[in-house]
Amino acid sequence: MRRFIAILAVLLLMGLPAGALAQAPAEGTINGQVINGTEGGGSVGGVEISLITYINGQLSDTRTAVSDSEGKFQFDSINMEHTYLVSARYMDVDYYYPVAFEPGETTAYVEVGVCDTTASDEKIRVGLTRKIVNIEEESLLVTEVYWLVNDGDRTYVGTDGVLLFQLPQGAYCFEAPEELMIDYRLLDDNRVTHLVSFPPGERQLFYSYRLARTDSNELGIALVINYPTDVLELMVEGEGVEVAVSRLAPAEPVVTDTGERYIYFQGQNLSRNEVINVRLSNLSGGGGFPLFILWIVIATAVACIAVYMIRRIRKVDIDG
């Protein structure tokens, strides 16, 4: 009898698919709550919530739910081995938050912050911007790096795009990192807009464009202040180039780790629509500038801006 039972068990196992013998993946629950960060803002009930699943870094599946009157939501039967992103669409703006299970836990909680929207940019300012000018044989390459701040409690959505930037007259060949070019749109009158809505907090942007050189080896550039700016830094690279600038004060030259020397100017508390006039002379002294070195300079500029802003925030916290 025992022999018969053993044989029967083997036959049953042979008839099962291989996956049936494997241990089922642990399942958990993701719950959370939508929180409106705008004082006196709208209801967070009935907000569409999406749970986006990634398997080995690839988009796999999306599930949806709707928040209750208190903004709460829940997703059950979650494979804890995968990676998840929670998205909430509120007032036509998408907010994304990663969610992960802690070791030994089967429930993960995520707070989804949203805000009411506004078309007014009165709360938008620039904490620090750095404009880098490189002299090349046939053109000038200008790179602008921004640390922007939304001081309000509403997400800025703009009207004609979101953030607007005025490029100098004659600017051409606008470029941004390849994966981010889709976020920009060129408008008329040498303007460019960044299309992504801007919630309260901070944002870093950078882009570049070119200006044609003249036969006289002199060039004037009018740089428009797009938003109230706490600190503006201008760096001009080019051996022997002479620079005259309005509104900014000269400072000690900057030398990069690769040996490039930049003439350096700085200004503070600049008003919106103010114009910084830059006059470059003796451009024949300029030369080519290897692209890989430029990206090193940009990376350094972004890092320096981050350090500056962190220190500024800490100082405000201490003073407050």
DSSP, residue by residue, the chain: -HHHHHHHHHHHHHTS-GGGGSPPPPEEEEEEEEEE-STT----TT-EEEEEEEETTEEEEEEEEE--TTSEEEEEEEETTSEEEEEEEETTEEEEEEE-PPTT-SEEEEEEEE--EES--TTEEEEEEEEEEEE-SSEEEEEEEEEEEE-SSSEE--SSSSEEEEPPTT-EEEE--GGGGGGEEE-STTEEEE-S-B-SEEEEEEEEEEEE--TTS-EEEEEE--S-EEEEEEEEE-TT-EEEESS-EEEEEEE-TTS-EEEEEEEEEEPTT-EEEEEEE-GGG-----HHHHHHHHHHHHHHHHHHHHHHHHHHHHH-
**Domain residue ranges in the chain:** 25-115, 124-319
* pLDDT value for 186: 95
Q: Are 207 and 174 in contact (CB under 8 A)?
A: yes
Shared fold status for 25-115 and 124-319 = yes
**Residue 161 CB contacts under 8 Å (≥ 6 apart), including other chains:** 185, 187, 193, 194, 195
> Which pLDDT band, with edges at 50, 70 and 90, does 25 fall under?
confident
Is residue 1 pLDDT above 50, yes or no?
no
For 240-293, write each residue's pLDDT tens digit: 899 999 999 999 999 888 888 899 999 999 999 999 999 999 887 555 444 444
The answer on pLDDT for 2 being more than 70 is no
7, pLDDT greater than 70:
no
Task: Report the pLDDT value the prediction gives residue 304, as an integer from 0 to 100.
Answer: 52
Say whether pLDDT at 4 is over 60: no
pLDDT for 174-221, tens place per residue? 999 999 999 999 998 899 999 999 999 999 999 999 999 988 889 999
Model pLDDT, residue 284: 74
Looking at residue 15, its pLDDT comes to 52
Dist. CA 162–CA 124, nearest whole Å: 11
User: What is the spatial distance between Cα 210 and Cα 142, in angstroms, rounded to a whole number?
Assistant: 6
Q: What are phi and psi of 296, to 5 degrees?
A: -65, -45
- Of 6-20, 40-54, 74-88, 250-264, least confident by mean pLDDT is 6-20
pLDDT band at 309 (very low <50, low <70, confident <90, very high): very low
Burial of 302 (0-12, 13-18, 19+ CB in 10 A): middle
The average pLDDT across 93-105 equals 94
Contacts of 65 (CB under 8 A, 6+ apart): 48, 49, 51, 73, 74, 75
Task: From the options 3.30.70.1230, 2.60.40.10, 3.20.20.70, 1.20.120.80, give the CATH code of 25-115.
Answer: 2.60.40.10
What would the mean pLDDT of 72-91 be, rounded to a whole number?
Answer: 96
CA-based nearest residue to 276, from 214, 229, 319: 229
Q: Is the dihedral of CA 204, 261, 165, 139 positive or negative?
A: negative
Task: Report pLDDT for 299.
Answer: 55
Mean pLDDT of the chain: 86
The architecture (CATH level 2) of 124-319 comes to Sandwich (2.60)
307 versus 88: which is more confidently predicted? Answer: 88
| Greatest mean pLDDT range, 13-22, 143-152, 238-247, 280-289 | 143-152
Report the alpha-carbon distance of residue 44 to residue 115 in Å, rounded.
10
Which residue would you say has higher pLDDT here, 143 or 298? Answer: 143
- Measured from the Cβ of residue 210, the count of other Cβ atoms closer than 10 Å reads 18
Measure the CA–CA gap between 204 and 183, rounded to whole angstroms: 13
Residue 298 clears pLDDT 90, i.e. is over it: no
Residue 10: the pLDDT is 41
Q: Tell me, what amino acid is at 235?
A: M
Share of the chain above pLDDT 70, in %: 81
Short-list 184, 107, 122, CA closest to 153: 122
